[in-house]
Amino acid sequence: MTGTPTAANGALSTSHSQTLDSKVSRRGAFGGEDHLVYTEELGEEEFKPLRVRELVRPPVVRQWMEDGKIYREPSPHETPRIELFFDLLFVAIVHQLADAAIEEPGGKSVARFVLTFWPSWSIWEEARKFSNQSGTDDLLHRVWVLIGMMTLIGYSANASAIEIHLEGEEEELDHSAVRAAVSFWLVIKLTRVVVLFYYALKLPKFRSAHIWKAVAVLVPMFVLLPLIWVTSRPAQIVLATLLIIIDIMRIDLIFLLVRGRIHAYRQRRQEGIKGLQAWGFKGWHRMPDVNGGGAVPVVNIEHATERLGAFIVIVLGEMVMNVVYTAAKGEMGVSHEFGKAAFGLMVAWALNYLYMLPSEPSAEYEHALRRSWLTGVCFNFFHWPLSASLVLASAACGKMVANDEVETGVHWYWGCGVGFAMLFIALLDLTHFDLAPGEARIPRSIRAILCLAAALSLILFSFGTQHMPSTGILAITVGITWFTLAVSIYGQLPKPGGSTTQEREELERRREEDERRSVEVVEAVGGSGQERERERQDLV
């Protein structure tokens, strides 16, 4: 009888230990990993070409979805240096577009900026997706990046030359700028289509997916093609807007969804399920299996989040660059202009911190890219208006640091830019799935409402700043952003004594014990260093 409670306690302890082990094995940095299959077939090895023909590597897909599972390489996909080189050009493009937007601050300038910023963003997105899913970092990949960079220079130069107000001969010059910008954009998109069809030819397993990806690139091209001949400004605006809508819709994704739903419907009908239940609307946000449709390339979350985060840093870098000034006579030391520059830097720092918060170690979440197809699409799309808002705010920041009295449109750019940036940061946070609801010190919904309220206050505040100096506007923005940041940092921490905290402490203790035991056993085994390391890995 005395041994029974001990055994029971041991069983409970073992059960609790197994529960913790299951949480470790099934949850990674971005959420659950039950559906992941790591294949050694794609193990990353150092590639050293020895012959001319080896300068171009065979086509490859690094991760794909098949039979409800995601197959991926075991090691994280590192960002090739050619991508970082590509980002250098976007630093200049962001600066050029920001300068063009601030020349005549107003609604028409914002519309021109939005319609010209999306095509350049879509090119960056295509380069990111290719490197993420299939990037070989070989000669062909690097040449394609070079072609893309050259066409981007031509696109941004001509897109920035598009006029807002047209008079007389300026109409012909403006149409030349539109025609040139569209031509450069079509060239780089055409190269992407060629690459996709090449991959479809060489990789039969992924042929259907690559063909539909090519179609998804071709359709927006045909939408924008008439701009080479159309001279009417309203018609140009309609076509450019239609391009954005179609690009966002993801034709290839719609095809996969429809095909998967039809397959699931047929399966349920065979099982005797009829009516609306056969369509399975309950799990509509989940990507269905595509039976017999081949494998579908998917994104690597680590690489995707790193690249999107890098783009946000590029845009925030524009704001940081705009707060740098040269001290003039009478403005030496801790001056009025220094105060405005410091305020601008504090806002940029707070926005960067707010953007990074969901991926902090204290956050228990399932990433939007892993949660469902809908949250994944929203996560990617929200980065575009976030970046556009930050570009406008960056352009206004430079004007406000240099001048205390500026146009009302500049104040509007600043308030709405920072406000909409905070709005989309909050929406990005909501796309993730909270794995520990009720465990945070301040509930996630309350933090999101606070961030949305702060964003709305900044947007509305910018419409009543006609007689306010730049210093006051910057100071108020610092107060709002930093208060929101402080609440978010504190509120995200787990409650003291909560189950999340206890589980983490228990897991950390058990890992340390396992590590100590493995070290002790390895030292007793002896032998070569490789044998000891292999034994240690087996024990762990």
Q: For tokens 């009720």, name the residue.
A: 438
Say if residues 386 and 312 touch (Cβ distance below 8 Å): yes
Say if residues 205 and 224 touch (Cβ distance below 8 Å): no
pLDDT of residue 499: 57
- The pair of structure tokens assigned to 532 is 């000891």
- Hey, what amino acid is at 430? L
Q: For tokens 């493009």, name the residue.
A: 93
Report the C-alpha gap between 418 and 412 in whole angstroms.
10
Per-domain residue ranges of the chain: 1-29, 81-297, 311-492, 499-539
Q: What would the mean pLDDT of 205-211 be, rounded to a whole number?
A: 87
pLDDT of residue 305: 86
Q: What would the mean pLDDT of 158-184 be, rounded to a whole number?
A: 78
Q: 383-420: string of b/e by CB count within 10 Å (b at 16+)?
A: bbbbbbbbbbbbbbbbbbbeeeebbbbbbbbbbbbbbb
Question: In this model, does residue 521 exceed pLDDT 50?
Answer: no
Residue 155, classified by CB atoms within 10 Å of its CB into exposed (0-12), middle (13-18) or buried (19+), is buried
Evaluate if pTM is beyond 0.85: no
Reported as a single tens digit per residue, the pLDDT across 444-488 is 889 999 999 999 999 998 888 787 888 889 999 999 999 999 999
Q: What would the mean pLDDT of 6-20 be, rounded to a whole number?
A: 39
β-pair type (296-297, 63-66): antiparallel
Q: What would the mean pLDDT of 103-126 be, rounded to a whole number?
A: 86
Q: Which residues, at least 6 apart from 479, have a Cβ–Cβ distance to it below 8 Å?
A: none
pLDDT of residue 4: 41
Rounded (5°) CA angle 191-193-196: 110
**Higher model confidence: residue 16 or residue 312?**
312
Phi-psi domain of 325 (left: phi exceeds 0; alpha: psi -120 through 50; beta: other): beta
Report the C-alpha gap between 455 and 46 in whole angstroms.
47
In a 13 Å sphere around the CA of 2, the CA atoms on its Cβ side amount to 0
Report the C-alpha gap between 443 and 430 in whole angstroms.
12
Closest residue by Cα to residue 72 from 304, 314, 273, 288: 304
**Helix axes of 373-402 and 81-103: crossing angle, nearest 10 degrees:** 60
Q: What would the mean pLDDT of 105-129 be, rounded to a whole number?
A: 87
Say if residues 131 and 195 touch (Cβ distance below 8 Å): no
- According to DSSP, residue 8 is labeled H
Question: In this model, does residue 35 exceed pLDDT 90?
Answer: no
pLDDT of residue 197: 93
Q: Which residues, at least 6 apart from 153, have a Cβ–Cβ distance to it below 8 Å?
A: 89
pLDDT of residue 310: 87
Q: For tokens 């469902």, name the residue.
A: 372
Say if residues 370 and 301 touch (Cβ distance below 8 Å): yes
Rg (CA), the chain: 27
Closest residue by Cα to residue 137 from 48, 239, 232: 48
Reported as a single tens digit per residue, the pLDDT across 249-278 is 877 777 777 776 776 666 666 666 666 555
